Chain A
Amino acid sequence: MSLFDHKVSELHELLHKKEITSSDLVSESFKRISEVDDKVQAFLTLDEENARAAAKEIDEKLGTDNSNGMLFGMPIGLKDNLVTKGLRTTCASKILENFDPIYDATVVNKLKDAETITIGKLNMDEFAMGSSNENSGFQATRNPWNLDTVPGGSSGGSAAAVAAGEVLFSLGSDTGGSIRQPASFCGVVGLKPTYGRVSRFGLVAFASSLDQIGPITRTVEDNAYLLQAIAGIDPMDSTSANVSVPNFAEGLTGDVKGLKIAVPKEYLGEGVQEEVRQSVLDSLKVLEKLGATWEEVSLPHSKYALATYYLLSSSEASANLARFDGVRYGYRTEQPESLIELYKKTRAEGFGEEVKRRIMLGTFALSSGYYDAYYKKAQKVRTLIKKDFEDVFAKYDVIVGPTTPTPAFKLGEKLDDPLTMYANDILTIPVNLAGVPGISVPCGFTGGLPLGLQIIGKHFDESTVYRVAHAFEQATDFHKQKPEL
Chain B
Amino acid sequence: MSRITTDQVKHVANLARLAITEEEAKDFKNQLDAIISFAEELNELDTDHVEPTSHVLNMKNVLREDKAIEGLPQEEVLKNAPEHRDGYVKVPSIIE
A-to-B contact residues, CB < 8 Å? 99-100, 102-103, 195-196, 209, 235, 238-239, 241, 301, 303-304, 306-308, 310-311, 318, 322, 325-332, 336-345, 347-348, 351, 356-357, 359-361, 363-364, 367, 374, 376-384, 386, 418-419, 433-435, 459
Is the CB of B85 closer than 8 A to any CB of chain A? no
Is the CB of B50 closer than 8 A to any CB of chain A? yes
| 8 A Cβ contacts from B14-40 to A | 15-20, 28, 31-32, 34-36, 38-39
Assess the B16–A363 pair: CB atoms within 8 A. yes
A339-B94, A361-B35, A364-B12 given. 9 additional CB < 8 A pairs?
A241-B57, A318-B16, A322-B17, A356-B28, A361-B32, A364-B8, A379-B53, A383-B53, A418-B35
Q: Which of B32, B36, B56 has the most CB of A within 10 A?
A: B56
Assess the A102–B39 pair: CB atoms within 8 A. no
User: In the bound complex, what is the Cα–Cα distance between A462 and B89 (angstroms)?
Assistant: 45
How distant is B30 from chain A, measured CB to nearest CB, in Å? 11
Assess the A328–B81 pair: CB atoms within 8 A. yes
Q: Given the known A-B contacts A238-B62, A325-B17, A418-B31, are A383 and B38 also in contact in the complex, defined by CB atoms under 8 Å? A: no
Assess the B76–A102 pair: CB atoms within 8 A. yes
Is the CB of B83 closer than 8 A to any CB of chain A? yes
User: In the bound complex, what is the Cα–Cα distance between A344 and B57 (angstroms)?
Assistant: 36
Assess the A376–B52 pair: CB atoms within 8 A. yes
- Residues in A with CB closer than 8 Å to B43 are 377
Q: Given the known A-B contacts A339-B94, A367-B12, are A195 and B56 also in contact in the complex, defined by CB atoms under 8 Å? A: yes
Assess the B64–A307 pair: CB atoms within 8 A. no
Assess the A419–B34 pair: CB atoms within 8 A. yes
**Would you list 11 pairs from A and B whose C-beta atoms are within 8 A, ordered by A residue?**
A195-B57, A209-B56, A304-B42, A329-B80, A330-B80, A340-B17, A351-B18, A356-B18, A360-B16, A361-B36, A383-B50
User: In the bound complex, what is the Cα–Cα distance between A307 and B60 (angstroms)?
Assistant: 27
| 8 A Cβ contacts from B61-96 to A | 62, 64, 72, 76-77, 79-83, 89, 91-92, 94
- Residues in B with CB closer than 8 Å to A310 are 35, 39
Q: Given the known A-B contacts A328-B81, A339-B92, A348-B20, are A380 and B34 also in contact in the complex, defined by CB atoms under 8 Å? A: no
Assess the A419–B92 pair: CB atoms within 8 A. no
How distant is A260 from chain B, measured CB to nearest CB, in Å? 23
How distant is B25 from chain A, measured CB to nearest CB, in Å? 10
Is the CB of B45 closer than 8 A to any CB of chain A? yes
Assess the B80–A384 pair: CB atoms within 8 A. no
* A99 to chain B: closest residue by CB: B80
Assess the B72–A102 pair: CB atoms within 8 A. yes
Assess the A329–B72 pair: CB atoms within 8 A. no
Top-4 shortest CB links A-B: A435-B56, A379-B52, A329-B80, A332-B82
